[in-house]
Structure 1
Amino acid sequence: MVRLSNSLVGILNLVTFVLSIPILSAGIWLLKRASTECDKFFERPVIVLGVFLMLISLAGLIGACCRISWLLWLYLFVMFLLIVLLFCFTVFAFVVTNKGAGEALSGRGYKEYRLGNYSRWLQKRFNSTQNWNKIKSCLSDSTVCSNFQAMYASDTIEEFYTEHLSAFQSGCCKPSNDCNFTYVSPIVWNKPAVSVYSNPDCNTWDNDPKVLCYNCQSCKAGLVQNIKNDWKKVAVVNIIFLLFLVVVYSVGCCAFKNNREENRHRGQGALLK
């Protein structure tokens, strides 16, 4: 039983260690290729994840194979914290992303998004001037809206209205449907000479490719919708990963208990001699 539990912990952590190598390598490669601070910001967590997996798997592997009880205890302690954190994040992700959705428009292939439809926690984070200025800087550096322009540049207004746009494209790369601007191209819309708008985003729109609707509430809502979709996918993956961690943790507990018993028996045998 001792050998079986230790072997299982060793094998599982060997697999985790092997998986951590491409994760860490990919993070370093992406960081070197990053052209902006925004790119680097998104690649650093990948490196942190790779290093964490490598260290924790090494602790479990050495602790199980070499029967080092204190290293196994440290491994199990970190695993327990990871399980608790993942469980809390998964519950939080489902709660925060439970509210909000795009609004379907008559005669349009895309939806439009309102920040007020989403959870207060997400609204607060995206309405923070400090947070949004950093995000806006990343949006200006990105090629999403320029690719959007190239993709639909040949569309007539009727064709454009039938396109199935992403939440980001709908919220950040074009003006709101409420504005009734004159269509020139996907990211160029002419405003009427004099008009009063019920939607403040209409006054915020600018044809400058670096500005567009990046200051609009609809852009914030589009990003929130993307985050909502991503978090729900992550939460589902987390559930599967949590089940895997619980199994590994249970086997690790058995290995730790068996190691202690074996060490105690050895100690008693040494005393008898």
Structure 2
Amino acid sequence: MAGEEINSCFTCISCIIFLFTFLTTGVGIISTGKSSCFLILEIPLIAIALTVMVLSLTVTICSCIGLRKPRFLACAACIWCLLIPLSSTYSIMSIYQAVITIKGKGIELPDRAYNEYQLHAYSKNLRKLVTNSHNWGKVHKCLIRTNACKRLTHNKANDTFMEFATKELSPIESGCCKPSYFCNFTYVTPTNWSVTFNGSNKNPDCHLWSNDPGTFCYNCQSCKAGTLQVFKAKWNNIFKLSL
């Protein structure tokens, strides 16, 4: 009887671990939709999460079968030895992720319906995810491949300046698909701007902007900030759901 109670306890705990991991990562992956580029920043955590989910599910199955075939209990015990340290690592990484995404938000503009995003507004540890050239290179390619600016280049291509200024933009659209508000460029279309410079403008993003669809502001600090805003918003919602 004691053995069955211990087995039931292990089964219950492994189910809880599976459910927690699924809610914090599985749901996040499923709900990303067209914003999937930011998942590139989470590959290590996702890899651990998927491993934890597979192991916890395997422990549950082996424990259930073990009631009739005891040799499966030994298999469950071995997997359990791997599951505990991995699930602990995942929990620590998840908490760390929640902490570093507390800081940072968009800047409200006086004459625009959308926000502006600046990289320095986010925590140092969160910024490291996009200032890493290897990580950003992958995100950059993903944004171009998925045509992140499609809504502005197609659906809103004929908007007047007033129509453009009074409509909301996603963090990616605001940061990657147009020049910074503070560059003071002249509007032509949402993704086509007349570039003018003055000596007082110290914003490096102004020099990185291009009307070329393959360039736009994908290498701008604002684009990295917009990506972090999507990252922050998605994972904060997931953490709230898991709690």
- TM over 0.5, shorter chain: yes
Q: Match of 1:156?
A: 160
Q: Does 1:108 align with 2:112?
A: yes
> Deviation at 1:50?
5.8
Structure 1: runs of 5 or more not aligned: 28-37, 241-273
Distance 1:39 1:108, change over 3 A: closer
State how far apart, in whole Å, the 1-side matches of 2:219 and 2:139 are: 10
SS at match of 1:144: coil
- Counterpart residue identity of residue 114, structure 1: Q
- Counterpart residue identity of residue 195, structure 1: N
Q: Does 1:63 align with 2:67?
A: no
Q: Match of 2:84?
A: 80
CA contact (8 A) 1:113 1:171 kept: yes
> Deviation at 1:55?
4.9
- For each residue in 1:166-191, what CA deviation from the matched residue of structure 2 results, as whole angstroms up to 9, or x when unmatched? 11110000111111212111111111
> Deviation at 1:157?
0.4
- Higher normalized helix content (fraction of residues): 1
- Counterpart residue identity of residue 224, structure 1: L
Distance 1:11 1:195, change over 3 A: closer
Q: Match of 1:202?
A: 206
Q: Match of 1:118?
A: 122
- Counterpart residue identity of residue 167, structure 2: E
Which structure has the larger Rg?
1
State how far apart, in whole Å, the 2-side matches of 1:155 and 1:233 are: 32
More off after superposition, 89-98 vs 107-116: 89-98
Q: Match of 1:133?
A: 137
CA contact (8 A) 1:176 1:201 kept: yes
State how far apart, in whole Å, the 2-side matches of 1:126 and 1:236 are: 24
- Counterpart residue identity of residue 101, structure 1: K
Q: Does 1:93 align with 2:79?
A: no
Q: Does 1:53 align with 2:56?
A: no
- Counterpart residue identity of residue 143, structure 1: N
> Deviation at 1:136?
1.6
State how far apart, in whole Å, the 2-side matches of 1:97 and 1:178 are: 25
Q: Match of 1:171?
A: 175
CA contact (8 A) 2:52 2:83 kept: no
TM-score computed with the length of structure 1 as normaliser: 0.67
Structure 2: runs of 5 or more not aligned: 30-36
CA contact (8 A) 1:9 1:61 kept: no
Q: Match of 1:244?
A: none
State how far apart, in whole Å, the 2-side matches of 1:106 and 1:60 are: 56
Q: Which runs of 4+ in 1 moved over 4 A?
A: 1-14, 38-42, 44-52
SS at match of 2:149: helix
